[in-house]
Structure 1
Amino acid sequence: MAKTDLKAAVIAGTVAGIFSGFVKLGWENVLPPRTPARNAVNPPQHLMEQVGVPEKIRNATYTYSEQKMPIAGFLIHFGFSTSFAILYSVAGHYLPFIKAGKGSLFGLSIWSAFHLGVMPAMKTVPDAKDQPIEEHISEAVGHVVWMHANDFISDSIYRNLTAKQHN
């Protein structure tokens, strides 16, 4: 087995996480996971309330195309995406089973752990049995698509970074 270039894996995961965060946002525009009423205070906003983030920070926005966009919510979204993309990129070199199905199983594991386990346990979202089926479908398939993007992007970047070292 070839030696893993940890720096290249972290860089690849970071870039993949940013891009895949956009993929997941796009996915949620096509198949919104929550009803408008449930999205009035979405999970990132509710989590910030739960941990005591001041209202001024959690409601901070920037305006683009006459629409107010949530800065703190996006930081959580992209932070989550990038953190797990780095984990996937690095761990996949040491534990190849993580990359089964081009990230599908990893994505479903993340969805299950957070959307069915951690967030309901924290009361950030309703219990899994009380979430609409549309939410489960959107989030489960969205996590597969998100991880496919991470797999493709991080592998491509890692190959490019490490190929340059050998030339």
Structure 2
Amino acid sequence: MTNKSYRRYSAALLAGFAGGNVASFVKWGSENPFPPRTADRAIPPVEMLNDLGLNTEAMIYHWSGHVVNWGVAGVHHLFSVFFAMLYCWLAEIFPSIKLWQGVAFALVITVIFHGVVLPAAGWAPALWDLPADEILSETFGHILWMWTIEIFRRDLRNRITRARDAEERLATSAGR
């Protein structure tokens, strides 16, 4: 754990908010060359919103001749911002969460959501029933997503505070 006096929660949350917004588009973009699901299956946010009694077919807008579902995009975007802010907040306390520049956290999120939460809620098949393409797409997309968040976290937090991360300040002040 880091020294409480070096923690900067406001800067971390702001960095998480900014990084989560941008990383949402990174994750979305990774799904274009590597679609995460077979074409015959509904995407989990549609299943979730429908289970909540919301009509996802009415959650659309048109852009440049395309139909865009803002409900589905909104679920993914809110997920990104929430988990980015959580990650950045936790990084102030537990520096080990940043293992491999956030890749370890991305892998944990992938397993928890695609291996436990989505199947338990009936929004996706069990992990062992998922096609290899889906596992690879989601894992790759989550790694890019979290790495983007870590880049924002480190840069913005350090720019805002004009100081290194909490554990680095401790190591520097100890003469390491």
Q: Give CA-to-partner distance per residue, 1:24-66, whole Å, 9 cap, x none.
A: 000011111112111xx3110111111222x1x5631111110
Determine if the alignment matches structure 1 residue 19 to structure 2 residue 18.
no
Deviation at 1:82, TM superposition (A): 0.5
Q: Comparing 44-53 with 96-105, which one deviates more in the overlay?
A: 44-53
Superposed, 1:27-42 pairs within 5 Å as 27-38=30-41, 41-42=42-43
Say how many residue pairs are matched.
160
Deviation at 1:149, TM superposition (A): 0.5
Structure 2 portions without partners, runs of 5+: 164-176
Distance 1:61 1:106, change over 3 A: same
Superposed, 1:1-167 pairs within 5 Å as 1=3, 3-38=6-41, 41-53=42-54, 55=55, 59-163=58-162
Q: Secondary structure at the match of 2:32?
A: helix
Q: How far apart, CA to CA, are the structure 2 residues paired with 1:25 and 1:5?
A: 30
TM-score between the two structures when normalised by the length of structure 2: 0.86
Whichever residue aligns with residue 50 of structure 2, its letter is: E
Name the structure 1 match of 2:173: none
Whichever residue aligns with residue 120 of structure 2, its letter is: A
Deviation at 1:129, TM superposition (A): 1.7
Q: Secondary structure at the match of 1:125?
A: coil
Larger radius of gyration: 2
Q: How far apart, CA to CA, are the structure 2 residues paired with 1:59 and 1:80?
A: 21
Equivalent pair of 1:12/1:157 in contact (CA under 8 Å): yes
Deviation at 1:159, TM superposition (A): 1.1
Q: How far apart, CA to CA, are the structure 2 residues paired with 1:76 and 1:92?
A: 24
Structure 1 portions without partners, runs of 5+: none
Q: Secondary structure at the match of 1:68?
A: strand
Q: Give CA-to-partner distance per residue, 1:83-127, whole Å, 9 cap, x none.
A: 110011110110111000000110000000000111101110011
Name the structure 1 match of 2:170: none
Q: Secondary structure at the match of 2:124?
A: coil
Q: Secondary structure at the match of 1:126?
A: coil
| Identity rate, percent | 32
Equivalent pair of 1:17/1:86 in contact (CA under 8 Å): yes
Greater than 4 Å deviation, 4+ residue runs? none
Whichever residue aligns with residue 6 of structure 1, its letter is: Y
Whichever residue aligns with residue 139 of structure 1, its letter is: E
